[in-house]
Chains A and B, each alone.
Chain A
Amino acid sequence: MSLKKSFRPGYKFVRQSEGAELEVRNLNVHIKNNHILKNVNLVLPDKKITCIIGPSGCGKTTLLKTMNRLIDSVEGVRIDGGILLNNENIVGSGEKIINLRRKIGLVSQKPCPLPMSIFDNVAYGCRIHGIRNRRKLRMIVQYYLEAVGLWDEVSNRLNTPAARLSVGQQQRLCLARSLAVEPQFILADEATSALDPISSRNVEELFVKLKQDYSIIMVTHTLHQAKRIADHVVFMYLGEIIEAGPANEIFTNPQHQLTKEYLSGAFN
């Protein structure tokens, strides 16, 4: 039932992530005087793909960034309410932030490889979390590069700079890099929007495979993409959650007027 079996069985260092839970409770985020997220309540189902949709500026990215506390580096931010990971509130705690980010990986819109070789990119997360053994690192790197379908393309040039890969390859590399620290959740912020259609499809298919082992929360602007891969859909508008539920329900029978209009492309 795990990714490990679906790709390469037998690596014992891969931690199972059973029953991880992420829940957002009464979350309010202010940046300076702007009320960005308004009273957001959300339960994110385990081992499913949850797509967050909504028009630009509705707070999707802020929500994602709050979930792994990258929002902390934004100037003048104030967070009220809670985000519970395995029943522990992750808002406001200082030291736990590093462990939190280990559990909640982020794939950004534009791939941003680290300024080092392909190998070191994937190994980076493991290294900073204390894995130094070269053999083990090599195994991890190969494992996750295979998981994202990049191994065959780069296995003979692992020591070349990651910046030389194509954008599509870079995005898969960034995904491998995130997976290598063994998170439970993957946040994807329009992870395919900078890619060409084929790479985009590759990454999409990858997400579908990965949901066996990870809970994936992705922000997307393309409704088609959400329809193709989402199990759950969250529709946001002006910082509020308008409607959330299983994908087929939302797409076939939206309850809220705004959702109907958005899905039919009636507003910008």
Chain B
Amino acid sequence: MKLKFIEEKIFNVLMIVATLIVFGFFASIVWTIVKTGLPSLSWEMISQLPGGGFYLGKEGGILNAIMGSLMIVLASALLGLLISIPIVFYINVYLKKKSKLAYFTRLSFDVLFGIPSIVYGAFAFTIMIALGLKTSLLGGIIVITLLIIPIFVRSMDEVAKSVPSDLLDAAYSLGATKLEACKVVLRQIAPGIATATLLSVGKAIGDAAAVMFTAGFTDNIPTSLDQPAATLPLSVFFQLSSPIPEVRERAYAAALVLTLIVLVLSIVGRIITNRFSKNKLI
């Protein structure tokens, strides 16, 4: 056999192996969570607030954490989008290709992207102390918004950068203003925005460190922005550190709920993406 065919075979096998390794990790994580968590997952668990002795293995559920997480994630995803989309359009449509400002903006978002979430939490915490604020739903929403903006901006930016300049020219040559051209670009990058949202939501819902200091933890569902809010990752964390086996198993059930929420959001996101990408140019 000629060398180039052998080479082709080898790389083909390497790619399959790499893919299988990742899939293997995913499957084993899911398996661990499902195996340990499914037995203690019950309707009671997802429909009730923690009872008096919940963390000692008595009755109750994690509805507080589910609701807290959903509130924080949905609100910060919305806020994050509202802030990120103008940034992306500004650096891609309004600024010139080699603009220094665009370069530094991208650079700073790259740095922000790499900052661990505990630092965001600590940073927000010091500001909250300075302002005399207590841990609250609002604090959680703000810090998670800050945490996911870099993900939003950088992933949408990559998509926006790949929009052909012909498309902008086509809109301009019909007499479009930059804002109108942005709307055309928006249609083209809609699938990218959906993907960015999924990535951000995935990161936001799974983060424990940032919300620990800012949103706090509570056994109740917050009814206003200044009340503390529980979150699923923290709920998992607190239960997992319990010495009682029953409670630790519940931690896996909570993790399972968390995973299922991410799964549902991803599927919904994909469906929406497909609907939006109907008109996309290749």
A residues bordering B, Cβ < 8 Å?
68, 70, 73, 75, 98-99, 101-102, 105-106, 108, 110, 112-117, 124-125, 128-129, 161-163, 174, 177-178, 181
Q: Are B173 and A113 closer than 8 Å at their CB atoms?
A: no
Instruction: Say yes or no: A116-B279 contact (C-beta < 8 A), given A75-B97, A128-B180.
Output: yes
Task: Report chain A residues within 8 Å CB of B282.
Answer: 163
Q: Are B170 and A112 closer than 8 Å at their CB atoms?
A: yes
Closest to B185 in A: A115
Q: Are B166 and A75 closer than 8 Å at their CB atoms?
A: no
Q: Are B98 and A99 closer than 8 Å at their CB atoms?
A: no
Q: Are A128 and B174 closer than 8 Å at their CB atoms?
A: yes
How far in angstroms is the closest Cβ of chain B from A181? 6
Instruction: Say yes or no: A102-B175 contact (C-beta < 8 A), given A73-B168, A108-B166, A115-B187.
Output: yes
Complex interface residues of chain B between 161 and 210 (CB less than 8 A to chain A): 164-177, 180, 184, 187-188
* B278 interface residue (CB < 8 Å to A): yes
Task: Report chain A residues within 8 Å CB of B58.
Answer: none
* B96 interface residue (CB < 8 Å to A): yes
Cβ 8 A contact of A117, one of B97, B164, B167, B279? B279
Task: Report chain B residues within 8 Å CB of A108.
Answer: 166, 169-170, 173
* B275 interface residue (CB < 8 Å to A): no
Task: Report chain A residues within 8 Å CB of B168.
Answer: 73
Q: Are B281 and A163 closer than 8 Å at their CB atoms?
A: yes
Q: Are B175 and A129 closer than 8 Å at their CB atoms?
A: yes
Closest to A99 in B: B175
Residue contacts A-B, CB under 8 angstroms, 25 given: A70-B169, A70-B172, A73-B168, A73-B172, A98-B175, A98-B176, A98-B177, A101-B174, A102-B175, A106-B173, A112-B166, A112-B167, A112-B170, A113-B170, A114-B167, A114-B170, A115-B279, A116-B184, A116-B187, A124-B171, A124-B184, A125-B175, A128-B176, A162-B279, A163-B282
Q: Are B173 and A105 closer than 8 Å at their CB atoms?
A: yes
Q: Are B173 and A75 closer than 8 Å at their CB atoms?
A: no
Task: Report chain B residues within 8 Å CB of A163.
Answer: 279-282
Task: Report chain A residues within 8 Å CB of B279.
Answer: 115-117, 161-163
Complex alpha-carbon distance, A215 and B282, angstroms: 32
Task: Report chain A residues within 8 Å CB of B280.
Answer: 115, 161, 163
Complex alpha-carbon distance, A102 and B174, angstroms: 6
Q: Are A115 and B184 closer than 8 Å at their CB atoms?
A: yes
